[in-house]
Structure 1
Amino acid sequence: MKKKLLMLCALMLAAGSVIACSKQETGATAPKAGEPAASGNVNDISEKLTITWMSQAFQGGGWPEDHPMIREINKKFNVDLKIQWVPFANYKEKLNVLAASNEFPDVFYILHPEFNKWKKQGLFYDIQPVLKDYPNLAKIPQGPLTVLNPKGKVLGIPYYLTEARDSYAVREDWLKNLGMSSPKTVDEFYEVAKAFATKDPDGNGKQDTIGFSFYIDPTENMLRDIEFLQASFGLSRLWKEEGGKLVPYQTQVEEWKHFMTFMNKAYNEGVLDKDFAVNKVRSTIEKFEGNKVGFTILNPNDYNNTKKAVQKLVPTGVVTPIEPPKGPTGLTATPTFDILYKQVINNKIDEKKKRRILMIMDYFLSPEGSDFIKHGIEGVHYKKISNDKYEKLEAADKDRQNLINNWILRPFDPGIQMYKWEDPAYHKVMRDMFAMNEKFKWPNPAAGLESETFNRSGGNLNVKFMETVSKIIMGREPVSAIEKASQDWLANGGSKIIEEINKSYKE
């Protein structure tokens, strides 16, 4: 009897421990960094953890391991943070290499095609059950937070992009030289662009300027830097919803005809940049800054840099953001980005490490944390002059303290690249540009939806379609050639893509 009583007590104690641990896992509130936590609490930071984090990297590369920003994070959260910076051009390849070996880091940035491919395999940690414990993560708008996720799950934290970021801009000094005003309609835009190409707007006595330019994006085979023109003639941004069904722009034959009639005329009359077919990502802005073209797409975050570049060649040059000119029926748009990329947590790691990563992410989106990942360390990267005045220090340029904010995770705020040591008047210009652009969003309702046929052959189909578009603009094919291009797109896989995209859309 005595042995039975002892065994029963032991079982009751064990059951009590399991219940207590379960309560702490599902309902624990994350303590502030540095505060002690209850024994067994998954958010206890008394144990030092090594965290591996893989991120994309762009020009200049990432931080060295011994970096002041990493040291601060390590100290605050009792971690040994190791960031692996992978050049963006090689990032997709790196993800697939890791997938082949099933050796992912603890947390990593993921592109939406790979997220879609792996989201049903149990690879990513589902944050939904614990999201309430992280108030700043929980404030992320539901659309970006849940997009692409299986129903009821949150398998990653979205990487914020300013959806309606870019403005259209004009050389105001060229307008003044020619006695013209900013265009409000597509017809007025053509008139101004033609004058820029033919009436010597820079006054150098040479016919060496053009009206407008664009380039063909090789990743999506889209026309870039003239989005407002496409939209003004009724073209969708890749897909549109019609009668509850998604329809691709490759089937919008009549809209394409109107748009390309306009573009072919501009090409023949020297209004359009004749080198558009070989232009690259920054060609339009570089030609604008080089005093060669009168209109451009302008990122508000780069407004000051563009203005300085223009005024380096032309001290009296004036760069003015304008609303995108409207088409015959009042349509227009601004370039629009989709928030589809995410930071995901490896589901294989233990719960303590998962929670520590969430604490760090939540901090990055808090007022204190977002200030840290943008501006860096007070006294090292900036100093406070008064309550509303700050000075940037030399170490900020050397350390590039803002790489987490730029490349890893940041708040849902268009002001992600507005720094507190900058002129508030400049910030107003930028915010006014963002507010103007917000009115002209050009959403793609099929963004991120899955189609096996598109993954397999959609790229080649779109290349062939865009080749016809280019030939029509240059006059090498008649406008009617778009009819056959559309039929070929449908016959060679486009119809199946439509079917699969719509199936994904309904799900």
Structure 2
Amino acid sequence: MNTFTFKHITAAAIAAALTGTLLAGCGTGADNVGSKPAAGGKAAAVSTPTTIKIMAQVTGDPPKDDNPIKLEMEKLTNTKLDFTWVPATAYNDKFNATLASGELPQVMLTNTGRAPNVINAVRAGAFWEIGPYLKQFPNLSKLNPNVLNGVSYDGKIYLLPRFRDSARHIIAYRKDWMKNLGLQEPKTLDDLYNMAKAFTDQDPDKNGKNDTVGYTEYSALDALTRDISIYYGGPMSNGIMNDQVVPNFLTPEYLEGLKFYRKLYADKAMNQDFALLNGPQQTEMMVKGKAGIIIAVDSTVKLIQKDGAKLDPKLEIGYLQGLPGSKGLRASSTGGALGGYFFSKSTIKTEAELLKILDFFDKLSTPEGMTLAYRGIKDTDYKMEGQKVVQNETLSDVSKAGINAFSQLAVAHANVGLPLKQEPLDELVGNLVAANEKIAVYDVASSLISATKSEKGPELDKIKNDAQVKFIMGQIDEAGYNKAIENWRKAGGDKIIAEFTAEYKKAAK
């Protein structure tokens, strides 16, 4: 009997590693950033400013050395920061060239952490393994172990990731249509289907025309592969089944999601041209009032409300965090990281030097540091209204340059900083995303490496994708779908499973 679990051994091990004793005398707030560690700790007490050479990317003009935000950041962290700023559009090329040269700065941003040249550099010993040191710092020790696992190499942490929202998909639906038809907000997947069917058949916009469809999807089947299958209890991209790392589409829960889509399509409760549409075209269906339900990232669902209301003042969008299945309410994760920072072994000579540099990132990860990085300087770039930050409507060019650049250094999640005063819609959707982060399901293979997947991934994906579309559209039955998946396995899929499984078990030791 197939048994599926999404528990990740490596993530659990990392979580245990991060729960070690923190430095004595260190708190989590900005008032404690200069505290001295316990005698057993290795981080040096604050004294002479630490010089740190950093290569990072920047959008627009780089800030000058006397930028006020930089000076405040140096004061807060007791550092002297020496930057090599690279335009964002050219950064990856510069990174690759620098990595190939062997002449590395102490700290360097990467956006391509899973590229073969980066993996080779990590395994060759180019960078410090920082995992064992994170528990020594009051803020870095609290970083999400699932996200750290996702950027690990062979079960070890070398990259300090830049944390971002990790569970951004939510459900948006036409609340005004729901009211027009006397429906209730969906509480289950069956309710969602019934709403989609009603939005298709019952003239929800009351224009007397049969011109609406309930549910909208596009060719990538994004909501199926990420969200619907998660609601049914499946894994995020890959999970553990029968002691192997398998892709989500081999699990019975994923098949339930496929059947849900097949029923929507057969009953014309979803757009019949989904296989021809791209993401923007799918969004446009909602904006123009042609569809009533979408599952998408937070920025997209907010756009639908804002742009749709310009065309139809009566438009009202309702939002759902998700829908529970047999395993309760769960959310899909994008990994929760946007690149991160490596620490060069050739230019950071000692453990003591490394700890001083990690201390910079720890102090920057306080509420004071994160507010400085993302909002600038109080009374110059923002003011406080109660407990919330109100950004100045017009920032100076100096402030814009500083915030654009120095926010790149922030590794903690932006919500660690003082909360920003927002419009009601932004706050509502932001709260749903934050709630989803607490129940996010992560890909157990996000840090694993498969040579076969790197070589044959696109052709294998085509086998799987074609089978899914044909099954949804009723062109093949379940037996035909299973035959296609068997072809996927024979064409290289089984090798991917074997390679991922071996990597997973090695990392778990």
TM-score normalized with structure 1 length: 0.76
Deviations 1:63-103 (A, max 9, x none): 5344664465467633232332424xx76666544444445
Quick check: 1:51–1:81 contact (8 Å CA) kept in 2? yes
Q: 1:232 to 1:430 in 2, by over 3 A?
A: closer
Deviations 1:31-58 (A, max 9, x none): 968x9xxxxx988885785733234x7x
Q: 1:465 to 1:331 in 2, by over 3 A?
A: farther
The unaligned stretches of length 5 or more in structure 1 are: 1-26, 36-40
Are 1:474 and 2:473 matched, yes or no? yes
- The CA distance in 1 between the partners of 2:334 and 2:236, in whole Å, is 10
1:189 corresponds to which residue? 192
User: Whose RCO is larger (CA < 8 A, sep 6+)?
Assistant: 2
Are 1:334 and 2:336 matched, yes or no? no
> C-alpha root-mean-square deviation of aligned residues, in Å?
3.9
Residue 369 of structure 1: how far off its partner (Å): 0.2
Residue 174 of structure 1: how far off its partner (Å): 0.8
1:344 corresponds to which residue? 342
Residue 256 of structure 1: how far off its partner (Å): 5.7
2:460 corresponds to which residue? 461
Quick check: 1:471–1:477 contact (8 Å CA) kept in 2? yes
Residue 477 of structure 1: how far off its partner (Å): 4.0
2:13 corresponds to which residue? none
Residue 405 of structure 1: how far off its partner (Å): 7.9
- The CA distance in 1 between the partners of 2:120 and 2:432, in whole Å, is 37
1:137 corresponds to which residue? 140
After TM superposition, the structure 1 stretch with the greater mean CA deviation from structure 2, 306-315 or 224-233, is 224-233
- The CA distance in 1 between the partners of 2:218 and 2:249, in whole Å, is 18
- The CA distance in 2 between the partners of 1:406 and 1:459, in whole Å, is 35
2:369 corresponds to which residue? 369
Quick check: 2:86–2:94 contact (8 Å CA) kept in 1? no
- The CA distance in 2 between the partners of 1:86 and 1:176, in whole Å, is 46
Are 1:84 and 2:79 matched, yes or no? no
Summarize the alignment of residues 223-262 of structure 1 with structure 2, pairs less than 5 Å apart.
223-224=222-223, 227-233=226-232, 235-252=234-251, 258-262=256-260
Quick check: 1:160–1:339 contact (8 Å CA) kept in 2? yes
- The CA distance in 1 between the partners of 2:402 and 2:285, in whole Å, is 31
Q: Secondary structure at the match of 1:422?
A: coil
After TM superposition, the structure 1 stretch with the greater mean CA deviation from structure 2, 305-314 or 148-157, is 148-157
Q: 1:381 to 1:290 in 2, by over 3 A?
A: farther
Quick check: 1:50–1:82 contact (8 Å CA) kept in 2? no
Deviations 1:179-223 (A, max 9, x none): 111222333222211222233322333333221222355xxxx63
- The CA distance in 1 between the partners of 2:205 and 2:155, in whole Å, is 58
2:383 corresponds to which residue? 383
- The CA distance in 2 between the partners of 1:231 and 1:343, in whole Å, is 31
Q: 1:446 to 1:168 in 2, by over 3 A?
A: same
Q: Secondary structure at the match of 2:342?
A: strand
How many residues align? The count is 459
Are 1:202 and 2:205 matched, yes or no? yes
1:52 corresponds to which residue? 54
Q: Secondary structure at the match of 1:119?
A: helix
% same residue: 24
1:493 corresponds to which residue? 492
Which of 297, 319, 327 is matched with 1:321 structurally? 319
- The CA distance in 1 between the partners of 2:181 and 2:228, in whole Å, is 23
1:296 corresponds to which residue? 294
Q: Secondary structure at the match of 1:195?
A: helix
Which of 162, 165, 168 is matched with 1:159 structurally? 162
Residue 488 of structure 1: how far off its partner (Å): 1.3
- The CA distance in 2 between the partners of 1:417 and 1:436, in whole Å, is 18
- The CA distance in 2 between the partners of 1:277 and 1:259, in whole Å, is 17
Residue 382 of structure 1: how far off its partner (Å): 1.3
Q: 1:288 to 1:476 in 2, by over 3 A?
A: same
After TM superposition, the structure 1 stretch with the greater mean CA deviation from structure 2, 495-504 or 133-142, is 133-142
Quick check: 2:449–2:499 contact (8 Å CA) kept in 1? yes
Q: 1:245 to 1:342 in 2, by over 3 A?
A: same
Deviations 1:306-339 (A, max 9, x none): 4332322222322222253455x56664332224
- The CA distance in 1 between the partners of 2:224 and 2:132, in whole Å, is 42
Summarize the alignment of residues 259-298 of structure 1 with structure 2, pairs less than 5 Å apart.
259-298=257-296
Q: 1:154 to 1:403 in 2, by over 3 A?
A: same
Q: 1:258 to 1:108 in 2, by over 3 A?
A: closer
Quick check: 2:308–2:315 contact (8 Å CA) kept in 1? yes
Q: Supply the AA of the counterpart residue of 1:485.
A: A
Summarize the alignment of residues 93-112 of structure 1 with structure 2, pairs less than 5 Å apart.
95-105=95-105, 106-112=107-113
1:24 corresponds to which residue? none
Residue 296 of structure 1: how far off its partner (Å): 2.1
Quick check: 2:69–2:403 contact (8 Å CA) kept in 1? no
2:3 corresponds to which residue? none
Q: Secondary structure at the match of 1:108?
A: strand
Quick check: 1:43–1:356 contact (8 Å CA) kept in 2? no
TM-score normalized with structure 2 length: 0.75
Q: Supply the AA of the counterpart residue of 1:471.
A: K
Residue 264 of structure 1: how far off its partner (Å): 3.4
2:18 corresponds to which residue? none
Q: 1:225 to 1:168 in 2, by over 3 A?
A: farther
- The CA distance in 2 between the partners of 1:189 and 1:128, in whole Å, is 43
- The CA distance in 1 between the partners of 2:233 and 2:134, in whole Å, is 41
Q: 1:128 to 1:248 in 2, by over 3 A?
A: closer
Q: 1:404 to 1:173 in 2, by over 3 A?
A: farther
Q: Secondary structure at the match of 2:483?
A: helix
Q: 1:417 to 1:479 in 2, by over 3 A?
A: farther
2:129 corresponds to which residue? 126
- The CA distance in 2 between the partners of 1:277 and 1:172, in whole Å, is 27
Are 1:452 and 2:455 matched, yes or no? no
Residue 433 of structure 1: how far off its partner (Å): 1.6
After TM superposition, the structure 1 stretch with the greater mean CA deviation from structure 2, 136-145 or 359-368, is 136-145
